[in-house]
Amino acid sequence: MPPERTALNADIRQFYDVSSGLWESVWGEHMHHGYWEAGEEDKDPRVAQVDLIVRLIEWAGIERASAVLDVGCGIGGASLYLARRFGAEVTGITLSPVQCKRATERAHEQGLEGTVRFEVADALEMPFADKQFDLVWSLESGEHMADKAQFLRECYRVLRPGGQLVMATWCCREGELNERERRWLEAIYRVYCLPYIISIEHYRRLLAEVGFGGIESTDWSRQVARFWELVIQSALSPTVLVEIFNRGMTLIRAALAMQLMRQSYKRGLLRFGVLHARKPGVR
């Protein structure tokens, strides 16, 4: 593994090892954006997070799945939902041993330890045989990938013919970025352990190059932008502020960068990309 990727993986692991417990205590099991349509400003954030999963399933037209891989599974929120929704066997992978342990505990608590399992694994070198899954689910993990094309190749490899990939990931706007925008994104990269992000259109091109067909995409930036306002509000709670400071600079920097994320959506620099594609063949 290249030294740069080793270092990045270590940073990602440390970030989630430190932050996941606090996140769960404040926001619950889903470590991702929520989904709000116009007129839903009063929707509970935790409901909005589940709605994001539901909307992804509906948008992609997923009607059944028997073997699911959840890439960047966090503490298992989406994995457990997908297992219940489809009656599927689900495997979740994360770089964080803390997340893996907690996700495994939660599967046991919900009586799903027989059908849902979690592993510490690198998504660029997945420890799975070819053609093992009929759905690869990646909810806000693509932005962490040091090599986006390699990540998509791995997704393609482990999918069965006719299998589906569903992704929601942080993207940037299409087109050449100016120096100010590049510096703005680099500040986000440093805090949230991202190597780089690309546009939705760039992802479409990579998916086609890897061999995927039926490629669909959309931009849900408007629907998820409210999330950062609510995260900022929750971080200003005295109890949460104390926890952030007690856990050290990793979380202090992340808290300070929340305004960067909010402003990035407002300026149209950051986009919430949603993509769906199929591996050619018959299921």
25-39, 83-97, 115-129, 200-214: the lowest-pLDDT one: 25-39
Separation between Cα atoms, residue 196 and residue 174, nearest integer Å:
14
> Which is the CATH superfamily of the domain at 3-278?
Vaccinia Virus protein VP39 (3.40.50.150)
The DSSP annotation for 83-142 comes to HHHH--EEEEEES-HHHHHHHHHHHHHTT-TTTEEEEE--TTS--S-TT-EEEEEEES-G
**Residue 76 carries which DSSP code?**
S
Tell me what the mean pLDDT of segment 218-234 comes to. Answer: 90
Q: What is the pLDDT of residue 249?
A: 64
The pLDDT mean for the chain works out to 92
The two beta strands, 133-139 and 159-172, are parallel
Cβ-based burial of 249 (10 A; exposed 0-12, middle 13-18, buried ≥19): exposed
Q: What is the pLDDT of residue 82?
A: 98
Are the beta carbons of 166 and 194 closer than 8 angstroms? no
- Determine the 3-state secondary structure of 69 from DSSP: strand
Q: Convert the pLDDT of each residue in 139-175 to its tens digit.
A: 999 999 999 999 999 999 999 999 999 999 999 999 9
Tell me what the mean pLDDT of segment 265-276 comes to. Answer: 95
Tell me what the mean pLDDT of segment 56-67 comes to. Answer: 96
Q: pLDDT band at 256, cuts 50/70/90?
A: confident
Q: Convert the pLDDT of each residue in 190-199 to its tens digit.
A: 989 999 999 9
Cβ-based burial of 55 (10 A; exposed 0-12, middle 13-18, buried ≥19): middle
Tell me what the mean pLDDT of segment 92-121 comes to. Answer: 97
pTM beyond 0.85, yes or no = yes
Q: Locate tokens 């690198």: which residue?
A: 122
Tell me what the mean pLDDT of segment 46-59 comes to. Answer: 96
Q: Convert the pLDDT of each residue in 198-212 to its tens digit.
A: 999 999 999 999 999
Q: pLDDT band at 39, cuts 50/70/90?
A: confident
